[in-house]
Amino acid sequence: MAIPLNFTKRKIEALPYPESGRVEYRDFGGPQSEKSLYLRVGSSTKTYYIVKHGAGKTVRSRIGDATLIPVHEARKRAKSGSTEIVAGIDPNAELKELRQRGLTLDQIFEQYIEAAQSRAKKPLRRTTAANYRRMKEVHFSAGKHQKRKGGRDYDKPGKGWLSKPAKDITNEMAVRWYEKASRYSVSSANAAVRAAKAAYSHQIVVSEKQGNALFTNNPFSNISLIAEKPAKDYIEPQELPAWFAAVDTLANPVTRDYLKLVLLTGLRRREAASLTWDQIDLQRKRTLTLSAEQSKNGEMLVLPLSDYLLELLAERRARTDSIYVFPGKNGHLQEPKKSIQSVNSRAKTYSTIHGLRRTYSNICLWHVGIPEYARKQLLNHSIGKDITQKHYTIDAPLDQLRMYQQRITEKILEMARIDHSTKKIHVLKVTK
């Protein structure tokens, strides 16, 4: 309950700051007191508020810093504001509308990311939020595009848009931007459209909740996205012997084992790199487990390990005291870009970490004949809207998945000309 106090400059200056929490006072007891004027004192602030009941609810509206606003001015504002509240006018709604009206493109991006990360159902993943921020910087920041080594120059058609009022960006502007941006990179432009569309959709929902019509149009919603060509960064079967041989020339055993595990499990880059030993069971279950929080699609994955992988991981466990399966300089291994380049150069391949996942998937499908539903399980892919798979197909038992995993590993090793018939693994001579 607010403490009654006849507000004067001297009395307000003398009020102590609490060590924790807040103390509230109301203007009372003097001939000029305004009963709707309140003062909230925090650990380092003193702030005036209007508190008034009107239109069936109690409204609290901030006036400002009590160390800067004279008492007579605060009373004047409180009296005026309380009259509006009694008449059904909410001063907070007007302030929210003014703030929303002046939001920049950068601000609506950040507001969406913050709201999406804190929502209860399917919160936005940290990696997705990072990608959204990267897209807005690549396409809409004022700075010069920082191209990657070997990349192309990009004269941003949306340069400086982040500081523009979001309401000033029209559908025509967005369409023209996309036409030019997609010439640089279709996949990058498409990703930027999806991020911007989500940010504007969030503001439209906010406008509806606040009862204003500031954001009713999404300028990125009517853009027809160009279909992206499937990436061809996988390894062809005839390239596997040279790829394994090139991997074995890498000086870092952590990177060598990491690349082999990704190829033989189809794990995503970060899922594999951040593995800890408590996720690996080498004895009883002989599995690798990703929790729902660790996997990209938000579903737990229990992946059986083949004999080759059990040996690889057992040897790795004996060589490290780290909590991480693949330790790096500051925690776990980061993407080994230079090692990938070295392997591609030696093996005459053009693969990426995700390309190893595609290689695994292709071998599952075309060379081992794994049933589609089981392949999705092994890759931890969502089954989407397939009614038959969603409602009429049970998950493959772990023993069945183990059999599939063993067959996939054996096929990859066979294609790579690797003899695994003995406990010690050795690479057969590659014949050209």
Cα 242 to Cα 246, 253, 413: the distances in Å are 6, 18, 12
The answer to whether domain 237-427 has CATH 1.10.443.10 is yes
Q: Please report the pLDDT score of residue 96 as a whole number.
A: 60
Strand partners, 280: 288
Say whether pLDDT at 432 is over 60.
no
- DSSP assignment of 243-308 equals HHHHHTT-S-HHHHHHHHHHHHH---HHHHHT-BGGGEESSSS-EEEE-TTTSTTS--EEEE--HH
Lowest mean pLDDT among 15-29, 137-151, 230-244, 321-335: 137-151
- Residue 312's nearest CA partner among 351, 256, 354 is 256
- Residue 9's nearest CA partner among 51, 67, 63, 64 is 67
Is the CB of residue 313 less than 8 Å from the CB of residue 289?
no
Q: Predicted confidence band at 124 (pLDDT cuts at 50, 70, 90)? A: confident
Domain pair 3-89 / 237-427, same fold: no
Say whether pLDDT at 280 is over 50.
yes
pLDDT digits (tens, 9 = 90+) for 353-384: 999 999 999 999 999 999 998 999 999 987 66
Q: Please report the pLDDT score of residue 134 as a whole number.
A: 92
Topology of 3-89 in CATH?
Answer: Double Stranded RNA Binding Domain (3.30.160)
Would you list the domain boundaries of the chain?
3-89, 105-210, 237-427
Is the CB of residue 267 less than 8 Å from the CB of residue 388?
no
Mean pLDDT of 324-336: 94
Distance in angstroms (rounded) separating the CA atoms of residues 24 and 86: 22
DSSP state of 334: P
Is the CB of residue 45 less than 8 Å from the CB of residue 68?
no
Distance in angstroms (rounded) separating the CA atoms of residues 46 and 356: 59
Mean pLDDT of 165-182: 94
Which one is predicted more confidently, 138 or 422? 138
Q: Which amino acid is at 39?
A: L
Say whether pLDDT at 408 is over 80.
yes
Q: Which amino acid is at 223?
A: I
DSSP state of 108: H
Q: Which long-range contacts link 186-189 to residues 24+ away (Cβ below 8 Å)?
A: 186/226, 186/228, 186/229, 187/228, 188/135, 188/138, 188/139, 189/139, 189/226
Distance in angstroms (rounded) separating the CA atoms of residues 153 and 161: 19
Question: 418: helix, coil or strand?
Answer: strand
Q: Predicted confidence band at 61 (pLDDT cuts at 50, 70, 90)? A: confident
